[in-house]
Chains A and B, each alone.
Chain A
Amino acid sequence: MTLFHFGNCFALAYFPYFITYKCSGLSEYNAFWRCVQAGATYLFVQLCKMLFLATFFPTWEGGAGVYDFVGEFMKATVDLADLLGLHLVMSRNAGKGEYKIMVAAMGWATAELVMSRCLPLWVGARGIEFDWKYIQMSFDSNISLIHYIAMAAVVWMFTRYDLPKSFRLPVTVLLALCVYKAFLMELFVHVFLLGSWTVLLVKAVLTGAISLCSLFLFVTLVHSN
């Protein structure tokens, strides 16, 4: 609508990142450069994913409105590369588990925010027309921050050698949930024909549940030793 509206959306999208960075103590660890490296890794992984998708997944040519279940599932599977990328970031950083997780997740999520949300916000939210979708986009970026923190935590747990046998199954399930979350959301939208606000709410609830579960596992794991 105006520059003011863009400011609103921008604040809504970015301030949670800033607050998280400040409050999590990352700033005290001098972790800014590490976060930037994580972001660069994000870019590299996305590039690889895009190349892979463009090479091996032909454009879906079915009728409009028909959901290509298998194709979308396969595409979501490519997101496994995200896990690899996160693992790569964490393996290159030495330090405590929380620190590694936070650096990887912060860098990863911020890179995504800058790359995929900044431009639409700048172009769209300054226009004369008002649309709720920019506010929704900003909320969505908050959700994805939580999502990536949870995902990084799960990846960290999964790659630990001292992971108890009983943890193996829940961690793997969580990992799968993290990867296929976007796919599941799309499926929900397609089956239940949800409105955009409902989608956002469902996404928030789903992400909250996954993060809470991974928090429980993390706490248990960290304090069991």
Chain B
Amino acid sequence: MFEEASEVFDNMFKSSFPLTFIVFLPAVLILVSPLPAEAAHEFTVYRMQQYDLQGQPYGTRNAILNTEARTVEAEVLSRRCVIMRLADFSYDKYQKALRQSAGAVVIILPKNMSAMPQDIVQQFMELEPEMLATETIVPVYFAMEDEELLSIYLQTLTSSSSQGSLSAAEVLLHTATANGFQMVTSGAQSKAISDWAITSLEGRLAGVGGEDLPTIVVVAHYDSFGVAPWLSYGADSNGSGVSMLLELARLFSKLYTYKRTHAAYNLLFFVSGGGKFNYQGTKRWLEDNLDHTDSSLLQDNVAFVLCLDTLGNGDSLHLHVSKPPKEGTPQFSLLKELEMVVTSQYPEVKFSMVHKKINLADDMLAWEHERFGIRRLPAFTLSHLPSHRLAQRSSIMDVRSVSLSSRHGAGEPHVDVKKLGRNTKVVAEALARVIYNLTEKGAPGDLQIFTEQMQVQEEHLSAVVDWLTAQPRAAQLVDKDSSVVSTLEYHLGRYLKDVKRHYVKADKRDPEFVFYDQLKQTMNAYRFVKPAIFDLLLAVCIAAYLGMMYLAIQNFGVLYSVVRRITQPKNKAH
């Protein structure tokens, strides 16, 4: 046959060019065709946090995933990718998957988070810190639900739950009939990001009237935190604090432009980064100001430091202190002024002071003011949360969008602009009363300074919160060129003087914090993936079929003669 073939090729080359073309073009096309990489479904997944803090590893340590999908109902989970939906998620199931040494966990979050029942959201929020508390070897991913992903989940669910204790043959049959999915991520292994700089911003309003004026510092951290960095929008914690800080800066910059209202207090505003990682930005800022420079507003005569954290909701205000302020100090007067403003102007708000000593043995500081407390600066944090342990401060559920039907009552993480505006008003009034010393001057408790042209603008607050929650602001994602930082800088620069950036980089030898990359990836779900044994089985079947075909064609003569014998009598009759 090969001699014939070569003869054919000879003929082809000699005789007809078009024929050559027709035969060879497809051949070339076939040879150069690339390997197909189309998946049944391609979707974006967000990896769980991975970071080291003070040498302690947290979160998932792995990013590569290439395993078969199962749901938690399956008997065997080892080296499988366990997919769960948020509605069925529980810590027990999560732990079960990890205990059975699953290859990976993918948690499917609903597209519209606010439509979820409240108890599930609450439960998940409380689980987030627990999932991050220890390091997890296998990759953990979060995905947004869509129709395709839901159908993949449901198909996996049916095939997973039908698996009982089957025999080997049944398992083989099962692999031939069932729909399996292979989950594959496209990215590389996660590795530590070197030289990551956390950016913080400061700006000031200088007072008038002599040397050595007392300074009031207003601080809010802008970064957000959640179980997955790309899903942490941090609306209430701490988008609300930052928007309040910007509004205070706007209001007081107005007051400080007129000679009559220019007070004898310096106002220092600080938007800190890395707040969710033990207030790294604040720590470095304090070191820079107190240890490395000779003259700084922080070095002499700080009246108090007011930290704003999670203020966008709730009907209570808590002033967290690490040491109850003594009578006669500016701290004490702010406390009293806050009390007075709340009782005389907003009786529906419950105001209280919460005292918690700084625990240096803890890995994490509770509130931002403790950073200042350690450096012996009088400081406190204002928040609507009664405790620093509440999950709202570090949850991916802390989002801006609110559906009116499911959200009412206290405790849900979202920003209510009305309440944020009211809280801003309370803080602004109390600060003004301290700065202008209004109580001693005999002003009544219900005197309102910030009204009419000076009033707190809710649209302004809401616009800032909307902008802040338009993108995830996890500390790993906001670098010094990011739009979050530059826009914040621009905003501060509109109202304040001497706007400066401060960078924190972890020490190279003994890093205090280490972030890792590969936090957002594309995952492919390949359909009907069969084990190699199935291919082998198929090959055996095909070989048997071809053997039968061979016998049938070899013995075609038998059929032919049978047909002939049947038709012969007819022929004779013909």
A residues contacting B by CB (< 8 A) are 1-2, 4-5, 7-8, 11-12, 15-16, 19-20, 23-24, 27, 30, 32-33, 36, 40, 43, 114-115, 118-119, 122-124, 126-131, 135, 142, 215-216, 219-220, 223-224
B1 neighbours in A (Cβ, 8 Å) = 27, 32
Q: Which of A1, A23, A24, A219 sits near B564, CB closer than 8 Å?
A: A219
B409 close to A (CB within 8 Å): no
B535 and A128: CB pair below 8 A?
Answer: no
B450 close to A (CB within 8 Å): no
Main SS of the interface on chain A?
helix
A12 and B542: CB pair below 8 A?
Answer: yes
Q: Which of A30, A115, A129 sits near B4, CB closer than 8 Å?
A: A30
**Which residue of A is nearest B40, CB measured?**
A129
B22 and A40: CB pair below 8 A?
Answer: yes
Q: A4-B539, A15-B546, A129-B40 are in contact. Are A33 and B4 (CB under 8 A)?
A: yes
**Which residue of B is nearest A166, CB measured?**
B574
**Which residue of B is nearest A20, CB measured?**
B553
CA distance A30 to B7 in the complex (A): 11
Q: A32-B8, A40-B19 are in contact. Are A130 and B567 (CB under 8 A)?
A: no
B 516-560 binary contact with A (CB < 8 Å = 1; else 0): 000000000011111010110011001101100110011010011
**Which residue of B is nearest A139, CB measured?**
B545
B539 and A8: CB pair below 8 A?
Answer: yes
Q: A15-B549, A20-B553, A223-B564 are in contact. Are A33 and B33 (CB under 8 A)?
A: no
A119 and B29: CB pair below 8 A?
Answer: yes
**Which residue of B is nearest A30, CB measured?**
B4
A30 neighbours in B (Cβ, 8 Å) = 4
A127 and B542: CB pair below 8 A?
Answer: no
B549 and A223: CB pair below 8 A?
Answer: no
Which residues of B28-43 have CB atoms within 8 Å of chain A's CB atoms? 29-30, 33, 35-40
Q: Which 5 A-B pairs have the closest CB atoms?
A: A130-B528, A32-B4, A127-B36, A220-B567, A23-B553
CA distance A48 to B435 in the complex (A): 93
Given contact pairs A33-B4, A131-B527, A220-B567, enumerate 17 new A-B contacts (beta carbons under 8 Å): A11-B542, A19-B546, A19-B553, A23-B550, A24-B553, A27-B1, A30-B4, A32-B1, A32-B5, A33-B11, A36-B8, A43-B22, A123-B36, A128-B39, A128-B529, A131-B528, A219-B564
B5 and A130: CB pair below 8 A?
Answer: no
A127 and B553: CB pair below 8 A?
Answer: no
B residues contacting A by CB (< 8 A) are 1, 4-5, 7-8, 11, 19, 22, 26, 29-30, 33, 35-40, 182, 526-530, 532, 534-535, 538-539, 542-543, 545-546, 549-550, 553-554, 556, 559-560, 563-564, 566-568, 570-571, 574
Main SS of the interface on chain B?
helix
B30 and A122: CB pair below 8 A?
Answer: yes
Q: Which of A8, A15, A24, A127 sits near B38, CB closer than 8 Å?
A: A127
A215 and B35: CB pair below 8 A?
Answer: no
A119 and B529: CB pair below 8 A?
Answer: no
A40 neighbours in B (Cβ, 8 Å) = 19, 22
**Which residue of A is nearest B550, CB measured?**
A19
Q: Which of B182, B526, B567 sits near A219, CB closer than 8 Å?
A: B567
**Which residue of A is nearest B38, CB measured?**
A127
B35 and A126: CB pair below 8 A?
Answer: yes
A4 and B535: CB pair below 8 A?
Answer: yes
CA distance A28 to B438 in the complex (A): 116
Q: List 12 A-B contacts (CB under 8 A).
A: A1-B529, A8-B535, A16-B546, A16-B549, A32-B4, A33-B11, A40-B19, A119-B29, A128-B529, A130-B530, A130-B534, A219-B564
A1 neighbours in B (Cβ, 8 Å) = 529-530, 535
A124 neighbours in B (Cβ, 8 Å) = 36
B29 neighbours in A (Cβ, 8 Å) = 119
B542 neighbours in A (Cβ, 8 Å) = 8, 11-12
A4 neighbours in B (Cβ, 8 Å) = 532, 535, 539
B182 neighbours in A (Cβ, 8 Å) = 128
CA distance A154 to B565 in the complex (A): 21
CA distance A124 to B574 in the complex (A): 54
Nearest Cβ in chain B — how far from A29, in angstroms?
A: 11
B38 neighbours in A (Cβ, 8 Å) = 127
B567 neighbours in A (Cβ, 8 Å) = 216, 219-220, 223
Q: Which of A20, A32, A129 sits near B527, CB closer than 8 Å?
A: A129
CA distance A213 to B203 in the complex (A): 96
A23 neighbours in B (Cβ, 8 Å) = 550, 553-554, 556
CA distance A124 to B538 in the complex (A): 17
CA distance A166 to B535 in the complex (A): 52
Q: Which of A20, A123, A130, A135 sits near B529, CB closer than 8 Å?
A: A130
Q: A1-B529, A2-B535, A32-B1 are in contact. Are A114 and B26 (CB under 8 A)?
A: yes
CA distance A19 to B546 in the complex (A): 9
A19 neighbours in B (Cβ, 8 Å) = 546, 549-550, 553
B571 neighbours in A (Cβ, 8 Å) = 220, 223-224
CA distance A60 to B566 in the complex (A): 48
A220 neighbours in B (Cβ, 8 Å) = 567, 570-571
A33 and B563: CB pair below 8 A?
Answer: no
A8 and B8: CB pair below 8 A?
Answer: no
Q: Which of B22, B35, B568 sits near A223, CB closer than 8 Å?
A: B568
Nearest Cβ in chain B — how far from A119, in angstroms?
A: 6
B563 neighbours in A (Cβ, 8 Å) = 215-216, 219
CA distance A220 to B539 in the complex (A): 40
CA distance A75 to B341 in the complex (A): 86
Nearest Cβ in chain A — how far from B555, in angstroms?
A: 9
CA distance A217 to B361 in the complex (A): 99
CA distance A225 to B108 in the complex (A): 76
B528 and A129: CB pair below 8 A?
Answer: yes
CA distance A127 to B145 in the complex (A): 26
CA distance A135 to B35 in the complex (A): 19
B545 neighbours in A (Cβ, 8 Å) = 12
**Which residue of A is nearest B11, CB measured?**
A33
**Which residue of B is nearest A128, CB measured?**
B526
**Which residue of A is nearest B36, CB measured?**
A127
A12 and B546: CB pair below 8 A?
Answer: yes
**Which residue of B is nearest A221, CB measured?**
B567
Nearest Cβ in chain A — how far from B16, in angstroms?
A: 9
CA distance A2 to B560 in the complex (A): 41
**Which residue of A is nearest B19, CB measured?**
A40
B553 and A119: CB pair below 8 A?
Answer: no
Nearest Cβ in chain B — how far from A49, in angstroms?
A: 16
A219 neighbours in B (Cβ, 8 Å) = 560, 563-564, 567
Name the residue in B560, B564, B566 with the highest tally of chain A Cβ atoms < 10 Å from its Cβ.
B564
CA distance A124 to B36 in the complex (A): 7
Q: A128-B526, A216-B567 are in contact. Are A118 and B539 (CB under 8 A)?
A: no
Q: A32-B5, A215-B563, A224-B574 are in contact. Are A5 and B535 (CB under 8 A)?
A: yes
CA distance A165 to B288 in the complex (A): 111
B556 neighbours in A (Cβ, 8 Å) = 23
**Which residue of B is nearest A115, CB measured?**
B26
B546 neighbours in A (Cβ, 8 Å) = 11-12, 15-16, 19
**Which residue of A is nearest B4, CB measured?**
A32
